[in-house]
Every structure is written in structure tokens, then in C-alpha cells.
Structure 1
Amino acid sequence: MNASEFWKIIDTARLSEDNEGKDRESFFLSIRDQLAELAPEEILGFQTQLMTEFHKTFHWDAVAAAAIVFGDNCDRLDVDGFRFWIVSRGEQQMQAILADMDSIAELDLVPEEVYFFELGRLAPDVYEEVTMEEFPTSNLPVEKEFPDGEEFKRVDLPNRLPKLASDFGLLPEPGASTVDSQTEEDPFAPLSTDVSDEENPYGVTD
């Protein structure tokens, strides 16, 4: 499956959404229905393209945005669920978001509507239902160890993404230090959260 075919599936699913594109279940159902009509090798191709696009979102700005949207309890799965949401927006919107992460402040986000981790599980689930075999992950793209861009501390969030932070009530603290309880080696704990194979059986956060 090439990139154009992949984005056509995503765009078709987006057109199936109700409530101004906020119906996650309709989106996921459309993806599943489209994948179920494909040959197993095409389902594998979809997942390969999905993970290729997903890895493009591995940037500290995306981590910062997820930290703002999901709050103090944000963990690695929240970050990755948010990154899958970015991909779900379609090729053009994804590129626009990655170019200016703070622009998503215009979308009136709520955590439940931007957690799309299920998107990473759809193709493996359909593949296993169709073939009755375990989904192979050995040929999927592997994510690099660290995100692109500059690291940050929690206290930096209002300055990192000011519009989004303001929407969620995070304002710069006068005279605030850029050093908090996180260590220099671990600037943002959720990114370092260990994700077990049971929680993430398809290796979407390698």
C-alpha cells in the first residue's frame, strides 16, 4: 500500500464522522470496514504506512501538547494516543499541525476526543480476524529513541505552546525557574514511562 492509498482510507473515515469530526467510534468503524475488504498483505501495508506517519509526529512539541491537554496525569499512552489523533486528521492537517503545534488551540480540544490510540490496533485486529494468525510486527518501522526538537520542563509549557496552554488554564508564572522536579536526563516523565507488551502488544511505541 502506498501513501496515497493510505490517506484515502483515512480521509474516507473522516468523511464518515459526525459532530464535526469528533465521533471517534464512527472513524474507527470506517477504518475497520475498509480494512476488512483488503487482502492481508494490504492490511499489513496500511499498518506500515500508519506507523511511518506516526513516527513523523515524534516531536517534543507533540509531547508538550499532550501534556497540556491530558494534564498532570499524562502518560506515554496519552502521548501516543494524541500522536495517532494527529495522523487521523489527514495528510494536510497533520502537516499543518506539525508545522505549528500551537494552532490546535483553535480546535477546542478535550482529552476524550484526541485519544486515538485505538487507531494503532485496528489493522492488527482485522488482520488476525481475517487470517486467524498473529499479526507480524518484525517489518514495521521502528521509532527512534528520542523525539525531534528541544526538550522541555513542565514549567515551560505555557511558553512552549502559549495559545493551547491558555485554553487549558496554564499561564506563565512570573520569575518561574525552568528547573522543576524532573531530572536533566528525564525532562518529561511520561515519555519515559515503561509500556509493557501486554498494554501495547503491537509495538506502536517502540
Structure 2
Amino acid sequence: MNEESFEDFWSLIEDSRQRADTRDARTDLLRERLAQRSAQDVVRFQIDLHRVRQRVDTWSMWAVAEQIHGGWCSDDSFWYFQFWVVGLGREGYERVLADPDALADEPELKRLTGRPMSDWEDDEWPDWESLDYVAAEAFEKLTGEEEGLEEALDAEGIALPCNPEPSGEEWDVRDPAEAARRLPRLSSMFPLPERDAG
């Protein structure tokens, strides 16, 4: 990983976190900032985004997403949850990477505790789908090429996945007892429903 571009990546993420108060506003800000860069900078941002996202594509993080989603986290939900974790910024991301249960400290999650999911506002959900598209949109704005980013990545021999491919120890993330053992704080905040005895 190019360390200089990696620092720039986190600088852009942090800047969007500091200067915008909704995910849509953060996306707009990132798109505008990237569209003022070179096409190669936008390609590098997408590559760096994929690399940091991939590090939280683990069974432990899927278990966290299951907790928060009440035991009903789909592939898509987990995919966009990973981008939300990246959106926490470098410090939060690294803390959660080291200890997934540390997400219990995040104010964005604390606000959801004890509230039914049906009451969560769209911008409160722990996902950031549009972060997955922001580089492609910036590349198109910069170059006028609709599929330009994908073609640029192909030219570098880079194929990015579009679904979770979790790594690490696989365990039954929907087992309330196992989740409580591995993620005690999040299990307390977002208890999984008990399974039927059948």
C-alpha cells in the first residue's frame, strides 16, 4: 500500500467527518473533493477504500452487524456496514479492528440502544452505501466517462469484490450465548432474540 496515498485517504475521510453532519453531506463533500483531483488520485482512493474495508470483512465484524441488526443482517447490510466502520475515521476504525466490541463506545450506536429498529431514521442506520460509489461518481464527473473508474481499475489488473468474503474464525454469529461471550458489551446493548427450541 502506498503510504502517502493511504494518509491522503484517511485525511479525506476525516475531513468529511469533521465538516459534514450527515452521510449524504459527507458523500457530497467527498465526491467534490475527489473530482478536483487527478483521475489517478480517484483510482487510488478506490483502491485504498477497498483495502481498509477488506480488513473489517471478518466473521467477528459480521457478528457485530448481526447484533445491531437483531440477528437479521444480510450480505448487503454487512457490506454497507463495513463502509460505515471505515467512516468512523482512522482512530475509531483501528480501535474497532483491534476489538470489535469497542463499537459499544460509538455515540452513533449508543443513540440506537433500546430503540426498535422501526424507529431508526435512515441516517441513523450503521451503513454507508454511498461511500461505495463515491469514487466512481467523482471519476465520471472528472472525466465524463460513465464506466471510467471500472475500466481504469481493469487496466491496472484490479478486480474489486462487491460482496462480503469474511475472513478469520467462522462461528455461529446468531447464537445469543456465543455472541454474549465474544461481544459482551454489544450483546447487552443489542440482545439477539432467543432461538426456538425446535
Q: Do they superpose with TM above 0.5? A: yes
Identical amino acids, percent of aligned pairs: 28
- Gaps of at least 5 residues in structure 2 are 113-119
- Whether 2:15 is the aligned partner of 1:12: answer yes
- Whether 2:141 is the aligned partner of 1:152: answer no
- The partner residue of 1:163 within 146, 163, 185 is 185
Letter in 2 for 1:93: G
- Note the C-alpha offset of 1:130: 2.4
Counterpart of 1:47 in structure 2 is 46
- Note the C-alpha offset of 1:10: 0.8
Within 1, Cα distance between the matches of 2:39 and 2:63? 36
Q: Give 3-state SS (helix, strand or coil) of 1:2's partner.
A: helix
- Which structure has the higher relative contact order (CA within 8 Å, separation 6+)? 2
Structure 1 residues 120 and 163, CA, compared in 2 at 3 Å: closer, same or farther?
A: same
Letter in 2 for 1:83: Q
Letter in 1 for 2:7: S
- Whether 2:129 is the aligned partner of 1:117: answer yes
Letter in 2 for 1:100: D
- Note the C-alpha offset of 1:116: 0.9
Structure 1 residues 78 and 145, CA, compared in 2 at 3 Å: closer, same or farther?
A: closer
Q: Report which of the two has the higher share of helix.
A: 2
8 A contact 2:46–2:135 mirrored in 1: yes
- Gaps of at least 5 residues in structure 1 are 182-206
Counterpart of 1:129 in structure 2 is 141
Aligned residues: 172
Counterpart of 2:74 in structure 1 is 75
Counterpart of 2:88 in structure 1 is 89
Deviations 1:48-86, CA, capped at 9 Å, x for gaps: 111111111111111001111122331011111111111
8 A contact 1:77–1:117 mirrored in 2: no
8 A contact 1:14–1:27 mirrored in 2: yes
Structure 1 residues 141 and 12, CA, compared in 2 at 3 Å: closer, same or farther?
A: farther
- Note the C-alpha offset of 1:13: 0.5
- Note the C-alpha offset of 1:141: 5.9
- Note the C-alpha offset of 1:157: 2.0
8 A contact 1:6–1:49 mirrored in 2: yes
- Note the C-alpha offset of 1:142: 4.5
Q: Give 3-state SS (helix, strand or coil) of 1:118's partner.
A: helix
Counterpart of 1:202 in structure 2 is none
8 A contact 1:24–1:113 mirrored in 2: no
- Note the C-alpha offset of 1:95: 1.0
8 A contact 1:84–1:116 mirrored in 2: yes
Within 2, Cα distance between the matches of 1:51 and 1:160? 27
